[in-house]
Amino acid sequence: MKILIVDDEPAARYGMTKALRSEGRLLLEADDGGEALTQIRQQCPDLVFLDLNMPDRDGLFVLKELQQDSSAAVPEIIVVTANDGVDTAVECIRCGATDFITKPFDVEHIRSIATRTEARVKLQNRVTELETNDNPARFGALLGGSTVMQHLFRSVEKAAVTALPVVIRGESGTGKELIARELHNRSERADRPFVAVNTAAIAESLVESELFGHVKGAFTGADRNRAGVFRQADGGTLFLDEIGDMPATVQTRLLRVLQEGIVQPIGTDECIKVDVRIISATHQDLEQAVADRAFRQDLFFRLKGIELFIPPLRNRHEDILLLAKAFLAASAGSADVVLSHETIAAILQHTWPGNVRELQQMISAAAALCEGEVIHPADVGLAPARSEADVNVFERYLDLPLTEARNKLVEALELFMIERALQMESGNVSAAARRLGIHRQSLQQKMKQMGIKSS
């Protein structure tokens, strides 16, 4: 970041330069308004501390010249003056100044201004970098330019050409079914059926019928024969989503199908041979489920041929803007609609508990309801982004005794982490406790003390 310090007094320039010197900053100096204009036009600084009272061409002269020069990139300008009158401030702001400070200035104040500007510059540079990426990495129906997604795509290509079963791990909304489809489309079974079934979305009493089929009259309501998804996928790929939620009785029958390659429809002794490749997916901790005896260990190892992990969206910031722009382009009637810089900053800082699915729905809804051609943070239901420099988490505790301040800070941190863990685990207290690395009972006790209710 480039910072220009404009003051006719060498001592003043020295003091401010010393206060602002830091790694990653280029500090420039000018001793009058004319030199300041030259530096601004040639060096394009990000931040200018401009002394208002200089003998030749003063700070107001610089501000007015920049107002009239449309070719010059106007930086953030902080006017420094010994006059703290309201009229002076209004005149400076009207002429393009961002803010003004009075002499003698507080060193920590100007450092905080520089830090805030630095955060804005970094964010703007990142946005520009992402917006100018005209060749995002596509992998079939998937999109991801981050290193971790590129590694995942390579693993999918390798896994696709094998006959091994695959388990896809990842949080809800990360795109597990899209990965499963790519595995099928790049395999030797691509011209055969791909059948997907969400085992958690089927009533427990109907799971066996959905998977293995039934004959007419096998149970009340079975008014016709049903093949079941195994037979529908014969020769192709069967994708079993949310495998971790499968009832124990069905797990036993599924294990037999995987071992023997045959299915037995409900209501008959007939065994039918099937040839399917199994791809399963879950957001559950299967190892913990096995330890809790909620999931069969032998079935786990039978399904676990190859494991693929999809990272949550919050862990791959490089992909957020690429995905958002792709979803916006795909939205009907959004040809002329764009995301404001404030919206881009807000979505880059959002934690995305719903992952890619949440982002897609948010952008699609905003594109449909947006009244103008620019989508603002309020249109996507997000507050404007705040840089780390905008809020110093310690400031609210500075006037307290050390012990009390420490206790309140720890309490605030615990509250934040617990609420975040519960949000990421959709209110599941056991899963949140595992994420936090504490016992479930300890988490329940803290939630009761803090008045936190699980959803």
Per-residue pLDDT band for 181 (boundaries 50, 70, 90) equals very high
Return the top range by mean pLDDT from 53-62, 215-224, 235-244, 379-388: 235-244
Domain definitions of the chain by residue range: 2-131, 143-309, 313-380, 395-450
Per-residue pLDDT band for 246 (boundaries 50, 70, 90) equals confident
Are 118 and 26 in contact, with CB atoms under 8 Å apart? no
Q: Is the pLDDT of residue 300 over 70?
A: yes
The share of the chain scoring above pLDDT 70, in percent, equals 89
Distance between CA 156 and CA 149 in Å, rounded? 10
The total of other beta-carbon atoms located within 10 Å of residue 130's CB is 20
Superfamily per CATH, domain 143-309: P-loop containing nucleotide triphosphate hydrolases (3.40.50.300)
- % of the chain beyond a pLDDT of 90: 24
**Average pLDDT of the segment spanning 178-187:** 95
Give the CATH architecture of domain 2-131. 3-Layer(aba) Sandwich (3.40)
Going by pLDDT thresholds of 50, 70 and 90, the confidence category of residue 390 is very low
What confidence score (pLDDT) does residue 388 get? 47
Mean pLDDT over the full length of the chain: 84
Measure Cα distances from 307 to 230, 304, 357 in Å.
22, 6, 22
Across 176-317, the runs of DSSP E, i.e. the strands, are: 194-198, 237-241, 262-263, 272-273, 277-282, 306-309
pLDDT beyond 70 at 454: no
> Is the model's pLDDT at 391 over the cut of 50?
no
Say if residue 30's pLDDT is above 70: yes
* Residue pair 415/383 in contact by the 8 Å Cβ criterion: no
At what angle are helices 341-349 and 317-330 packed, to 10 degrees?
130
CA 206 to chain centre: 36
pLDDT attached to residue 132: 54
- 372: pLDDT confidence band, cut at 50, 70 and 90? confident
Give the bridge partners for 279, in sequence order. Answer: 166, 239
pLDDT for res 178: 94
| DSSP state letters, 35-77 | HHHHHHHHH--SEEEEES--SSS-HHHHHHHHHH-TTSPP-EE
Q: Matching CATH topology for 2-131 and 313-380?
A: no
CB count in 10 Å sphere of residue 214: 22
397-441 pLDDT per residue, tens: 666 677 777 777 788 788 888 887 887 777 788 888 888 888 888
Q: What is the pLDDT of residue 55?
A: 81
Give the CB-side neighbour count of residue 405, counting CA atoms within 13 A: 10
Q: For residue 263, give the 3-state DSSP assignment.
A: strand
The pLDDT of 22-31, averaged and rounded, is: 88
Taking domain 313-380, whether its CATH number is 1.10.3720.10 is answered by no
How would you class 136 by CB atoms within 10 Å of its CB: exposed for 0-12, middle for 13-18, buried for 19 or more?
A: middle
